[in-house]
Amino acid sequence: MNFKTSIPLIILLIVFSSCKTQEEIQREQLVDNMSLQMIQGQKGQAEMTVKFQSMEEQITLLRGELEQKGYNQEQKRQNEFKGIEDRVLLLEESQKDVTEKMTAVQKQLEENKSFLEKVLKALKGKSSRPKTKKVKYQSPYWAAMESYKAGKYKVAKNQLLGLLNKKKVKGNKKARVLHNLGMIEYMNKKNDDALVYFSKLFTEFSKSGYNKNGLLHMGKTFKRLGRKDDAKQTLEELLKRFPKAKQSKEAKKLLKKM
């Protein structure tokens, strides 16, 4: 076969071979598409599997949390019930203690009541006995002082004179008797008698504190009688002897008016 005759054959083979290759290419493309779809389907299935696994894990975690929460709630309820039981027991013990104390108090009250009844019975027996009134002894001097303080001047005068006449008093007691007699006579406006007692008080007991009042009323008596010079002399003597006495303040006022 020569080269010229072989060329057409070669071209014919190429044509036939090219037509066959296109079919194969189409088939290969179909196969490739199917393979790609299968791969994509497998990939989607794998993704779905992963999602399902993730969902299962989440469900498992959620179930675990719910179980744990239920367990915790159950434990909490049990603890609350236990606390209530403990409080009930404590209240029962407290009630028991209170009951015992109340019983003891009631017993003590009954004993006290019995004792009180005995005491009242004994006191009642004593009160039924006639009482003897004790008379307190009072000396003539203090009896006279009590009468004077009570304003019973008529009685007091007789008692005071009795003390002087019987010479029952001495010292400061006698000074007090003379003072009180002078005051009684001054209040009764028996001026001469008042001057006698105030003069005796000052002469016999010149240092006695009763002269503060005695000299003041002696000066008032002189003033009442119109004897101003004697009144001034007496009041000035009071200021000299007892400058800080309250009677001296009154004496100063009287002197200013004279």
Domain residue limits, the chain: 55-116, 140-257
pLDDT given at position 133? 55
Give the C-alpha separation, 183 to 195, whole Å.
10
| Mean pLDDT calculated for residue range 218-241 | 94
- Please work out, in degrees rounded to the nearest 5, the angle formed at the alpha carbon of residue 200 by the alpha carbons of 197 and 203: 150
Using the predicted structure, report yes or no on whether residue 49 has a pLDDT greater than 60: yes
Contact 249, 235 (CB under 8 A): no
Residue listed under structure tokens 């009951």: 99
- Name which of 257, 200, 189, 187 is nearest 228 in CA terms: 257
Q: Return the closest-CA partner of residue 178 out of 192, 147, 152, 157.
A: 157
Residue 232 is predicted with a pLDDT of 95
Q: Rounded to an integer, what distance in angstroms lies between the CA atom of residue 210 and that of residue 70? A: 105
Angle between helices 246-257 and 228-241 (to 10 degrees): 150
CA angle 174, 177, 181 (to 5 degrees): 145
Q: Give burial (CB, 10 Å; 0-12/13-18/19+) of 217.
A: buried
Predicted confidence at residue 11, as pLDDT, reads 52
What pLDDT sits at residue 3? 46
pLDDT at 215: 94
* Six-digit token string for 251: 């004496």
DSSP 8-state symbol, 129 = S
Kindly state the average pLDDT of the residues 161-187. Answer: 93
Q: What's the whole-model pTM score?
A: 0.49
115, pLDDT greater than 70? no
What pLDDT score does 186 carry?
95
The neighbour count for residue 180, using CB atoms within 10 Å, is 23
What's the Rg (C-alpha) of the chain? 69
Is the pLDDT assigned to residue 120 strictly greater than 60?
yes
Can you state the angle between helices 191-204 and 171-187, rounded to 10 degrees? 160
Class of domain 140-257 (CATH, top level): mainly alpha
Task: State how far the Cα of 101 lies from the Cα of 109, in Å rounded to an integer.
Answer: 12
CB neighbours (10 Å) of residue 64? 10
**Side-chain-side CA neighbours of residue 151 (13 Å):** 0
